[in-house]
Chain A
């Protein structure tokens, strides 16, 4: 229904909104999943202490983990929706490379990670590299 209402050839603004929704959902998912895993603690230690079942129980009883997985699923469906309207050669490199930069910003703001010059350089190099590889 929604697909039928949309213009078959989306303009630059609609295309930007589609790619932005993929990037934002993906970033939210990654940050929530990372926050969940940090709150749980080192899985290797948990597995050594209470076995594989204990490690799985620790992950599946964390509500933040499911929020993260929900956003990652939303990002996947947004990607499918964007691919339904835009070219793969635009959506794949743009979303994959932009996600790296937004994750570096979100990691610094929300997870209080120490994103120093080394990590910024790595994020930008990998961002350009993924763009070139996927284009």
Chain B
């Protein structure tokens, strides 16, 4: 988006044209395709695992972003951020050790049944 010309709210026609044009920019289009892929994977995970299992696990994405920023974009990472990376990794490790889904037991009627003869 930073490669595109500055977007102004003063000219709605130009704003819409710029935004439609932005969708077909290779980087933005690739971003949209990856976001659709993320949402499809997220929904599939929610269909077989608990929300309280999926949410902390997907937070590991923050760690990947921080590591890519450090080693690909050569951005500095402070000690507090390294501590954050460590805590998220620990949290994901914790949740991944347990079951992914709450199994609700099926209630079985244990009362004695009278068999009609």
Contacts from A to B (Cβ < 8 Å): 30-31, 33-34, 37-38, 40-44, 59, 100, 103-104, 107-108, 111-116, 118-119, 121-126, 128-135
Contact = CB atoms under 8 A, between A and B. Distances in A.
B87 A126 contact: yes
19 contacts: A34-B46, A34-B54, A104-B52, A112-B104, A119-B52, A119-B56, A121-B91, A122-B94, A122-B95, A123-B55, A123-B91, A125-B87, A129-B59, A129-B85, A129-B90, A130-B59, A132-B80, A132-B87, A133-B81
A41 B59 contact: no
Interface string B88-109: 1111101101110010100000
Contact-residue size bin, chain B (C-beta under 8 Å from the other chain): 35 or more
Contacts of A59: 43
- Interface class of chain A by DSSP: helix
A130 B62 contact: yes
B83 to A, nearest CB: 5
A125 B87 CA distance: 5
